[in-house]
């Protein structure tokens, strides 16, 4: 592989990994609220969480640009007070990828939560376990298959994110040019067909590996938990 291909692969792995780390804490909280709580506005929250699945990725990137750009509502404050610039950076690419993959993580964790027998938590409550004790000793171990599956699927999806990343973080070699952006660049370059074919094959292979890994890990964890 050429240096450009290795850079694109490295950036894709880094951005996808960081996006999962950004997603997980909030995804667990939101999945818990949607599966275990009943409150006014729950349906609206559910719709907002899944909105990136139906919006064009470019629209998501544009909204992020309006919020986190150097003149955006949040980005201007971050830049002025902390010197933090997210737009056109690798961190910005990770945020865009995290937003696009967030619904996948929430859905996997929520399905896992809804499959837990509430009687187990009730039994822990009758034995004197408080809310946090019940969560960390009963609920969290049982929802681990969903957390792991959601994380792996989000990671695999993050490797292929294009629209939101190019809109918010641009297509900068060595900084934000991930595999799909490198593939797009190759297609716009004369005699770039061979490079584009290699990048496409690499993307397909990584996607397949991610999906297979998610399924195998989930099955093994469910067997270990007796589910």
User: What are the pLDDT digits (tens) for 46-93?
Assistant: 999 999 999 999 999 999 999 999 899 899 999 999 999 999 999 999
Q: What is the pLDDT of residue 226?
A: 64
Distance CA 162, CA 75 (A): 22
Q: Is 80 exposed, middle or buried (0-12, 13-18, 19+ CB in 10 A)?
A: exposed
More confident residue, 187 or 135: 187
pTM of the entire predicted model = 0.90
**88 Rama class: left (phi>0) / alpha (psi -120 to 50) / beta:** left
Report yes or no: 144 and 226 within 8 Å, Cβ to Cβ.
Answer: no
What domains lie within the chain, and their CATH numbers?
3-225 (1.10.3720.10)
Please give the share of the chain, as a percent, with pLDDT higher than 90.
Answer: 63
Centre a 10 Å sphere on the Cβ of residue 16 and count the other Cβ atoms it contains.
26
Q: Indicate the pLDDT class of residue 227, thresholds 50, 70 and 90.
A: low
136 falls in which pLDDT band (50, 70, 90)?
confident
d(CA 225, CA 227): 6
**Least confident segment among 37-46, 66-75, 126-135, 176-185:** 126-135
Residue 145, pLDDT > 90, answer: no
């Amino acid at each position: 592989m050429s240096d450009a291909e290795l850079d694109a692969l490295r950036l894709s792995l880094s951005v996808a990994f960081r996006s999962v780390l950004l997603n997980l804490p909030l995804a667990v909280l939101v999945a818990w609220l949607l599966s275990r709580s009943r409150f006014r506005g729950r349906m609206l929250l559910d719709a907002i969480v899944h909105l990136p699945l139906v919006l064009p990725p470019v629209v998501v990137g544009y909204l992020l640009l309006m919020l986190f750009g150097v003149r955006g509502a949040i980005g201007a404050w971050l830049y002025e007070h902390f010197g933090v610039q997210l737009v056109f950076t690798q961190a910005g690419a990770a945020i865009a990828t995290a937003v696009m993959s967030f619904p996948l993580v929430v859905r996997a964790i929520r399905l896992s939560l809804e499959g837990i027998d509430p009687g187990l938590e009730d039994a822990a409550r009758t034995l004197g376990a408080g809310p946090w004790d019940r969560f960390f000793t009963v609920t969290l171990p049982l929802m681990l298959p969903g957390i792991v599956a959601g994380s792996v699927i989000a990671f695999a999806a993050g490797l292929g994110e294009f629209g939101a990343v190019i809109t918010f973080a641009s297509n900068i070699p060595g900084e934000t040019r991930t595999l799909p952006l490198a593939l797009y660049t190759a297609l716009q370059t004369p005699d770039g067909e061979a490079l584009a074919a290699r990048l496409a094959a690499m993307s397909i292979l990584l996607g397949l590996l991610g999906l297979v890994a998610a399924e195998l890990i989930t099955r093994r964890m469910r067997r270990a938990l007796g589910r």
